[in-house]
Structure 1
Amino acid sequence: MVGLTSLVTNFGLKAQFENYVIHRQEKQTREIIDLIKMKYEEEKAWNTGYLEIIGMNALQNGMILEVEDNKKQSVWSAYKHNNGLCQAMIMDMRANMYSYSDKWNGEYQEKAYPITIDDVQVGTLTTGYVGPYYFNDEELIFIKALNSLFLITGICSLIIAFALGVFMSLRLSNPLNKVAKKALSLSEGNYKERLTDGSHTKEIEILIETINELSDALEHKDKLQKQLTQDVAHELRTPLTSVQGHMEAMLDGIWAMDKERLTSCYEEIIRIKKLIGSIEDLSGVENENILLHKQEFNLAKLFIRLLNNYEKNFQMKNIRVNYRPESIMIYADEDKMSQVFNNLLSNALKYSEDEGEITIQTTVEKDSVIVSLKDTGMGISEEDLPHIFERFYRADKSRNRKTGGVGVGLTISKAIIEAHEGKITVNSKYGEGTEFVIKLPQSEDIINKL
C-alpha cells in the first residue's frame, strides 16, 4: 500500500505539473500579447527594438516569436534575427525532454494569436515551441528531484513497513504458535504445563487464559477419571472379597451354610447392585435425555412423606427437623424431585453429628418456588465446595462406609433440577453446616390460579 500510494502520487503530481506547464505557456503568451499591444497603442506603430527585447526574453524561456502586421508582413522574427540560436534552443528543449522520459513524443509546433486594439486586428503573434509541453532547465531539475524524493521515500517506507509487518506478525504469531503447541499437547494428554507468556493483544491474552483454564479443567477431569477407577474398584472389591470369603469358608466346611451367613452375602450383593444402579443413573442423566413426567402436586406432601421415611434415622441421632408444611403446588416430575430431595436429606443425615438440626423452608417468589435445606453438620471446605456437583467427587477421600456412595447423588440432583429449567446452589462453611437452595420455575397455570 505504501508503494502503491507513492506510485499513484507520483503519477498524479506528474500530470498536475504537466498541466501547470501548459497553463504557464498560455499565460506567458497572453502577457507577451498585452505588452505588444500596450507599446503599439503608445506609439501607434511597431517598435522592432522593443519586439526584439520581448522576443529574446521569450526565446530564453523556450518560445520562438514572430510578429506580423495586418498585411501579413513580418515585423520581427526570431528565426530571422538569430536562426542558429532558435535551432539550438529547439534541440536543447528536445534533449531535456528526452532526458526526462525516453517515451516523450513531442514535436515543434506553432500557434497564432491575433493582436487586436479596440476590436481592430493590427497584427498576429505566432509562437513556436516544443509541445504539447516542455520543461525548462529549472523545472526539469525540480521534477527530477521530486521523482528521486518519491523513489527514496517509497523505498524507505516499504522497508519500514516490511520491518513493522515482520515485527507485528511475529508478535501475533509467536503466542499463537505456543497456544497451538499447547492445544496439541492437550490432545496428547499433557495437562500440567501452563502458558506463562503474556500478550499485549487482548484477544490473544483471553485465548491464553482460556487454554490455561482448559488445561486445569482437563487435568481435573483426568484426576476424577483416575479416581473413579480406584473408587469403583474399591467399592466393588470390598463386598466381593467379603462374599468370596464367606463362600470359601462355607464350601470348605469351616462355616455352616446357615441363614445368617447367606443373609450377609445377600446384603453385600445388594450393595454391589446399588453401586451399579448409581452408575447407571448417572449415565442416564449425562446423556441429556432425561424423560420428565410432569404433573401438578403438593410439595408439602412430598416432604412429609420423605421425612416420615427418615424419622427413625433422625431419632437414632437425635436430629431435630424444623419444617412448617405449607401447601405449595408445583408442576414437575414428582418421582425425579423425590429423588433430589431424598439425596439432600440423606446427605444431611450422614454428615450431621448427633443432636444436630435440619431446617427446611419453602417459599414462592413471583414465578419461582424456592426450597432451602440447611443442616448443622460438618460442612464443606472451600477447596471441595466448587467440585461437589461433579461426578464421582467426594469430599471424604477415604470412602468411609458410614458416608458411603460413590459421589454421584449431587451430580444426578443437579442434572434433574436443570432438566426442570431450575437452578441449585450451595452455601457452606466447614464446621458450621451446609445449605442447599433450589429454585424451580412455576407454571403459568398455577400462577394464574394463585
Structure 2
Amino acid sequence: MKMSLKVKLILSYTALSLLLVMALLVVSNVLLEKQFNQYILQKQEEKNLSYVDAVKTELEQDKQLTPEGFIALGQKAFNDGLILMIRDNQNHEIFCMSCYDQMRCEDMISAMERTMQSRYPGFKGEYVEKQYTIENEGILYGTVTLGYYGPYYLLDADIRFMDILNNLFVAIAFVFLAVAILIGYFMANRLSKPIQEVTMKAKEIEKGHCDCRIDIHSTTTEIQGLINSVNALAVTLDAQQNLKKRMANNYAHEFRTPLAAIQSTIEGIIDGIFDATPERLENIRQEILRLSRMVNQIDKLVELESDDKTLNKTKFDLKNLIVQVVTTFEMQCEEKKIDVSMNLVQSEIVADHDQIGSVISNLMSNAIKYTDNNGKIKIQLVDHKEMIQLIISDTGIGIAKEEIPLIFEHLYRTDISRSRKTGGSGIGLSVVRTIILNHGGDIKVDSELNKGTTFIINLPK
C-alpha cells in the first residue's frame, strides 16, 4: 500500500515514541516496584522489631508473665498482619496468638494470599515465621516468633499508592505520546513540504517549462542538495533548449548562404544571364566543398558526442605527433610569414592518435587563420607527472572575455565576417573540446582582444 512521505513520517514518529514511552513506562514501573518492595520489606522488619522491643520490655519488667498479659499486644500485632508467639528462656510457651484464635489467624493468612494473588497473579508467597532472641548483657530472656504472609505483603494503602503511581505513569505516557505525534506532524510537514515543491517543479520541467526554479530553502542538507540539483538541472535543460534553438538557426544560416549562392549562380547560367565560365563553376565547386566539409564536421561531432565514445588508444610520443602536424602547415605559415616556435619534451601518452592529431590540427589551423602577417605562434609541451600539458599561443585577433565561455558551442564564431573569409564553420572547437573531454582531460582559454589567444590542454598520460 502506497503512503505519502508525510504519513510515513508521522507513523514512524508515533511508533518510535510509543515504543520509547512504553519501554520507559515498563522500566520505571519495574524499578519503582522493586524499590517499593524493598521499602515494604524494610518496613516489615522495622514493624517486627517494634513488637520484639515491646515484648522485651515486658519480659524485663515482669518475671511472672501470663498469656493474658500479651493478649492486647497479640491483638495489635494481628491487626498489623502478624501472628505473635512468645517463649521464655526455658523455651516454654508464654503466648501464642494462633493458639488463642487459630481460625482468625488462618483466615487472615488466606485473605492476604488472595489479595496478593489478585494483585500479582502467580505471586509466590507463603506463610513464614521469623524468630528473634531477647537478651540483655548476655542474659537470655526468651524468644519472639512472628508469623506473617511473606516474603512481603501490601496493605490496602500500599495498593492504592501503587495504583495512583501507575495511573500517573499512564497519563504521562499519553501526554508524551500526544507531544510526539505533534512533533512528528510538525517535522513531517517541514520535510515533506520542500519535497512536494521539488516534485511539482520537476513535473513542470518535465512538461518543458525549464525556466522553473525552486525558491525555497531547507535546513536539511540532503533536501537542500536535492533542491540545488533540480535547479541546476533546470538551468542545464534551459541552456540546452536555447542551444538547440540557436544551433538550428545557425545550421540553417550556415547552409542557406552557400546554397543561395549556388542556386543564384546556376539559375543565372540556366537563364543565360551568366556564362558557364570555369571561374563560376570553380566558385560553385568551392561552395559545395565547403558544405561537404561542414557536413563531415557535423557528422564527426555527432559521432564524438554519442553514447558510444569508443577510443582507439595506443601508446605514442606526443612530441613527434605535434611536429608532424605542424609540418603540414609550413606552407600556410610561410605565406603569412608567421614565426612558429616549439618548446617540446619527449612525452609518451596512451590516447587515440588520430583524434589527438585532429585537436592539434584544429588549434593550429585556427591560430594561423586568426593571426595576421608577421605574427607568432608558440607551442609548448610540459610534463606534469600524471598529466601532459599542451599550450598553443598566438598573437592573433584575440577573443573578448564575454565570448570565451561560448567559443566551444556548435557553430559559434567570434568574428563571423572574418570566419567567412577564412572558411571557418564554427564547429572545430566543439570537436576539440569533445575529444579532450572524452580522453578525461580539460581545455582552457586565455585571450585578450588584439593581443592573442592561448589554449591550454591537460591530458592524462
Structure 1 range deviating more: 432-441 or 275-284: 432-441
Residues 282 and 412 of structure 1 are in contact (CA less than 8 Å); yes or no, is this contact kept in structure 2?
A: yes
Describe the shift of the 1:52–1:353 C-alpha distance in structure 2 as closer, same or farther (beyond 3 A). Answer: farther
* Alignment partners' CA distance in 2, 1:139 and 1:227: 88
Deviation at 1:84, TM superposition (A): 8.5
From 318, 323, 339, the equivalent of 2:341 is 323
From 21, 28, 42, the equivalent of 2:60 is 42
Deviation at 1:430, TM superposition (A): 4.8
Q: Is 1:302 paired with 2:324?
A: yes
Q: What amino acid does structure 2 have at the position aligned with 1:12?
A: V
Structure 1 range deviating more: 31-40 or 140-149: 31-40
* Alignment partners' CA distance in 1, 2:124 and 2:221: 63
Residues 367 and 377 of structure 2 are in contact (CA less than 8 Å); yes or no, is this contact kept in structure 1?
A: yes
Helix, strand or coil at the partner of 1:380? coil
Q: Show the counterpart of 1:163.
A: 182
Describe the shift of the 1:79–1:144 C-alpha distance in structure 2 as closer, same or farther (beyond 3 A). Answer: farther
Q: How many residues are aligned here? A: 433
* Alignment partners' CA distance in 2, 1:396 and 1:53: 124
Deviation at 1:109, TM superposition (A): 5.7
Q: Is 1:289 paired with 2:289?
A: no
Q: Show the counterpart of 2:129.
A: 112
Residues 66 and 94 of structure 2 are in contact (CA less than 8 Å); yes or no, is this contact kept in structure 1?
A: no
* Alignment partners' CA distance in 2, 1:246 and 1:86: 133
Deviation at 1:48, TM superposition (A): 5.7
Residues 384 and 395 of structure 1 are in contact (CA less than 8 Å); yes or no, is this contact kept in structure 2?
A: yes
Is there any run of 5+ residues in structure 2 with no aligned partner, and where? 1-18
* Alignment partners' CA distance in 2, 1:335 and 1:255: 44
What's the Cα RMSD here?
4.0
Residues 18 and 133 of structure 1 are in contact (CA less than 8 Å); yes or no, is this contact kept in structure 2?
A: no
* Alignment partners' CA distance in 1, 2:441 and 2:129: 97
From 34, 55, 64, the equivalent of 2:82 is 64
Q: Is 1:19 paired with 2:41?
A: no
* Alignment partners' CA distance in 2, 1:335 and 1:164: 64
Deviation at 1:397, TM superposition (A): 7.5
Q: What amino acid does structure 1 have at the position aligned with 2:30?
A: G
* Alignment partners' CA distance in 2, 1:308 and 1:263: 26
* Alignment partners' CA distance in 2, 1:394 and 1:50: 126
Q: Is 1:380 paired with 2:406?
A: no
CA deviation map 1:166-191 (0-9, x unaligned) = 11111111111111222222222221
Helix, strand or coil at the partner of 1:295? strand
Deviation at 1:89, TM superposition (A): 11
Q: Show the counterpart of 2:333.
A: 311
Q: Show the counterpart of 1:445.
A: none
* Alignment partners' CA distance in 1, 2:42 and 2:69: 23
* Alignment partners' CA distance in 2, 1:401 and 1:304: 23
CA deviation map 1:349-387 (0-9, x unaligned) = 344456654333333444544321123344334443334
From 358, 374, 377, the equivalent of 1:358 is 377
Q: Show the counterpart of 2:22.
A: 4
Describe the shift of the 1:367–1:63 C-alpha distance in structure 2 as closer, same or farther (beyond 3 A). Answer: closer
Residues 55 and 78 of structure 1 are in contact (CA less than 8 Å); yes or no, is this contact kept in structure 2?
A: no
Q: Is 1:427 paired with 2:446?
A: yes
Residues 299 and 330 of structure 1 are in contact (CA less than 8 Å); yes or no, is this contact kept in structure 2?
A: no
Residues 389 and 411 of structure 1 are in contact (CA less than 8 Å); yes or no, is this contact kept in structure 2?
A: yes
Helix, strand or coil at the partner of 1:154? helix
Indicate the percent of aligned positions where both proteins have the same amino acid: 29
Q: Show the counterpart of 1:229.
A: 248
Residues 36 and 51 of structure 1 are in contact (CA less than 8 Å); yes or no, is this contact kept in structure 2?
A: no
Deviation at 1:135, TM superposition (A): 2.8
Is there any run of 5+ residues in structure 1 with no aligned partner, and where? 443-450
Q: Is 1:269 paired with 2:291?
A: no
* Alignment partners' CA distance in 2, 1:81 and 1:75: 11
Structure 1 range deviating more: 109-118 or 204-213: 109-118
Residues 81 and 108 of structure 2 are in contact (CA less than 8 Å); yes or no, is this contact kept in structure 1?
A: no
Residues 51 and 76 of structure 1 are in contact (CA less than 8 Å); yes or no, is this contact kept in structure 2?
A: no
* Alignment partners' CA distance in 1, 2:132 and 2:247: 111
Describe the shift of the 1:334–1:288 C-alpha distance in structure 2 as closer, same or farther (beyond 3 A). Answer: closer
CA deviation map 1:235-270 (0-9, x unaligned) = 122222222222222223332333222222211111
Helix, strand or coil at the partner of 1:262? helix
Residues 33 and 125 of structure 1 are in contact (CA less than 8 Å); yes or no, is this contact kept in structure 2?
A: no
Structure 1 range deviating more: 193-202 or 15-24: 15-24
Residues 345 and 381 of structure 2 are in contact (CA less than 8 Å); yes or no, is this contact kept in structure 1?
A: no
Q: Is 1:150 paired with 2:181?
A: no
* Alignment partners' CA distance in 2, 1:121 and 1:391: 118
Deviation at 1:14, TM superposition (A): 5.5
Q: Show the counterpart of 1:175.
A: 194
1:332-343 alignment runs, 5 A limit = 333-343=352-362
Q: Show the counterpart of 1:446.
A: none
Q: Show the counterpart of 2:159.
A: 140
1:238-277 alignment runs, 5 A limit = 238-277=257-296
Residues 37 and 116 of structure 1 are in contact (CA less than 8 Å); yes or no, is this contact kept in structure 2?
A: no
